[in-house]
Amino acid sequence: MSIRWKIAQAAEIRWWQGYLAKKQPTDYLNWKRNYWSNFLQDLQTDFPLHLNGPILDAGAGPAGIFCLLQEEKAITAVDPLFNQYAAKLPHFQTNDYPNTEFINQALEEFVRPEQFSSIFCLNAINHVQNWERCLQNLIDSLAPGGQLILSTDVHRHPWLYPIFKALPGDILHPQQHQLQHYLQALQAFSPSRLEHKRLKREAIFDYVVFFFQKED
């Protein structure tokens, strides 16, 4: 376990505590469900999402897409900080989500071969310790023909990328990569379909979503 990842995980829980400190749980969760609903509507204009089978929310955080989807479907959610979220954040109470199976585990350690028809890994892959291993586990956990929807920040500027990669310029995100790195890594799994869409542009990063469909 790298020191940088340990620091990032400790910073992550402190960030959530600070971010949620003045937000009422009910108001925040209502806002978050609306956010995820709009997110899905946006994706469905470009990608043929199928949300009928078993669904995984990977690296879900305390208010991942499970909080919307579990209203109608059985969801599995995995995150290495679930126990800390439950202990330290009133906004995250597992009893509020009876249709969600919560697993307190790192993505590097979680794999359920060919179980899920849809996997969401949203704003999480740049938080992990070993992103290539996590991608392998996610793809292995997809059923044939299954879909991976992965979103993350990607570096816009080639000259800034090596600086952020070498130094902790972004303490919460130990993984620092460019768009082509994600495309190359995903293409190596021989998808039947691989597309991406930029959702937001900022000074240093683009926020991008990738749509990966596994071969049947």
Q: In angstroms, rounded to a whole number, what is the distance separating the alpha carbons of residues 193 and 21? A: 41
CB–CB of 124/174 below 8 Å?
A: no
Is the pLDDT reported for residue 133 higher than 70?
Answer: yes
3-class SS at 144? strand
pLDDT tens digit string along 59-118? 999 999 999 999 888 899 999 999 999 999 999 999 999 999 999 999 999 999 999 999
Per-position DSSP letters for 4-53, written without gaps between them: HHHHHHHHHHHHHHHHHTTS-HHHHHHHHHHHHHHHHHHHHTTS----SS
| CATH homologous superfamily, domain 3-213 | Vaccinia Virus protein VP39 (3.40.50.150)
Whether the predicted model's global pTM rises above the 0.85 cut: yes
3-class DSSP state of 166: helix
Give the pLDDT of residue 145: 96
For the chain, domain boundaries:
3-213
pLDDT in tens, 145-203: 999 999 998 876 665 656 556 655 555 556 666 778 889 999 999 999 999 999 877 76
- Pick from 149, 130, 131, 133: which is nearest to 191 by CA? 149
